Structure 1
């Protein structure tokens, strides 16, 4: 267990350091009233506002840019979480049951990254005709929903009480954050779809 504890502590310290560093970097823009009002439709509005404030100049008053920025944030965090889970899977001293759960989570996060990437690409290909829009939007909504399901499946995999508490907490915390920003992104995608009609 001591062999497993050191890598977890090092990875947690690295995550904390990067979080503190990003929190101390001065923000170039404040959240606009458009971002605040848009985020009010999400399940985690404070997280939505905080994660999208730096995109204010890109978003302006555009629901499409808002949805794209939200998906970009979700993809960025999903990639980071996937890398973290891969690193955790290489920790020594992990029990077989823990390893299997971590491997499943790694697969789920790989699928999440793929689906969010597809969603961003699809949103960028939105046609001007209503028929094209509905088809592309349906794809985006399906993929973002599937990504959220993958993230929740990963979190649920760590519900077993027999799993090591540190491994469970380290990974669940990361994936839960990704699931929350993905949930927000889906709400903003849906808002864009409703406003377009």
Structure 2
């Protein structure tokens, strides 16, 4: 429950911007079923369901689902960045580890900035159509992809046996989780974009 409270206020604000008046996606009897079926498009479906199930009461459409997924990813990225920042002060840390941690802090900070941008942008997509929608979504997809790259770059800095140890293990555990959550969020963003564009084509006279 504590993890949910960290993002609840910002999340509900973005869900409001996402269009609370939009109708529910047809073919899903409950929000839980909608989340579970949507998460099948992600690379880590069980983790996807775990992250989003607590917000089922606020998710009624593809847009809200994507905003929620990005908001959860942002929250976890911020938490991981703060955790990594503390590791520079670990007693007995090796020079190579220290430098890798410093690089990771920078990468995670960049990732947090990009996820923040993507949440704001997707929250404001609203009723954008045509080229406006495509432009907004392209920006969101670019930022989320870049954030995922930042997270994986942090992990790459700890490759090699000489980096083995408690610092590497702790960072890999936290940042790998964030990267997986971000990967899932990107999958749901792509799903939303594709379905929105397909619906627009169908509705054309």
Q: Which TM-score band applies after superposition, normalised by the shorter structure?
A: 0.7 to 0.9
Describe the superposition over 1:88-141 as per-residue Cα deviations: whole angstroms up to 9, x where unpaired. 112222111110000000000000100000000010121522211100000000
SS at match of 2:161: coil
Equivalent residues in 2 for 1:52-91 (5 A)? 52-60=52-60, 62-91=61-90
2:31, 2:57 within 8 Å by CA — same for their partners in 1?
no
Asked if residue 195 in structure 1 is aligned to residue 163 in structure 2, the reply is no
Q: Where do 1:1-197 residues align within 5 Å?
A: 32-60=32-60, 62-126=61-125, 127-197=127-197
Contact 1:31 1:52 in 2 (8 A): no
Aligned equivalents of 2:31, 2:160: Cα separation in 1? 39
Preserved CA contact (<8 Å) 2:31 2:59: no
Structure 1 unpaired stretches of 5+: 1-17, 20-29
Q: Which runs of 4+ in 1 moved over 6 A?
A: none
Structure 2 residue runs of 5 or longer lacking an equivalent are 4-29, 198-205
Taking structure 1 as the reference length, what is the TM-score of the superposition? 0.83
SS in 1 for 2:163: coil
CA contact (8 A) 1:70 1:188 kept: yes
- 1:122-171, CA deviations, whole angstroms, 9 ceiling, x for partnerless residues? 10121522211100000000000000000011111111211241111001
